[in-house]
Amino acid sequence: MTKTLLALLAAGAAILSPGAWAADTLTPDQAGAAKAQAKADYKSDKADAKADKAVNKADCRAETTGAVQRACKKDARAQARLDKADAKLDYKSEQADIKAGTK
C-alpha cells in the first residue's frame, strides 16, 4: 500500500515539475552531436554485422561440408544483409528525429 502511494506521488511530482514541460527542440550544438553519434552508431552496427558474418561463415566451414556448408554460408550472408539494412533503417530514423528536433 505505501509503495503504491509513494509511486503515485513520485509520478505526480514528475508530471507537475517544470522540467517535464520543457521544449523538446535541439540546439544546433546538440543536433550536431546527435548527428555525429548517430553516424558513429551506424558505422559500429555495420562493422558488427560484418564481423558476425565472418564468424558465422567460419562456423559453417568448421562444422559442415558440402551442400549444408553452402546453405549455411548463404544464411550467414543473408543475416549480414539483414543486419546492415536494420542499421541503415535505424540511422535514417535517427536522422529524421534529429531533423524534426524531437530527439
User: How do residues 10-20 score in pLDDT, each as one tens digit?
Assistant: 666 556 555 54
Tell me, yes or no, whether 20 lies in a domain.
no
Q: Give me the pLDDT at residue 90, please.
A: 96
pLDDT in tens, 57-69: 999 999 999 999 9
- pTM score: 0.69
Tell me, yes or no, whether 4 lies in a domain.
no
Tell me, yes or no, whether 3 lies in a domain.
no
User: Is 41 or 25 the better-scoring residue by pLDDT?
Assistant: 41
User: Is 46 or 16 the better-scoring residue by pLDDT?
Assistant: 46
Tell me, yes or no, whether 5 lies in a domain.
no
Sign of CA dihedral 85, 87, 90, 96: negative
Q: For residue 95, give the nearest of 46, 24, 41, 27 by alpha carbon.
A: 41
pLDDT(102) > 70? no
pLDDT in tens, 80-100: 999 999 999 999 999 999 888
- The pLDDT mean for the chain works out to 84
Rounded Cα distance, 88 and 42, in Å: 7
Could you give the number of structural domains in the chain?
A: 1
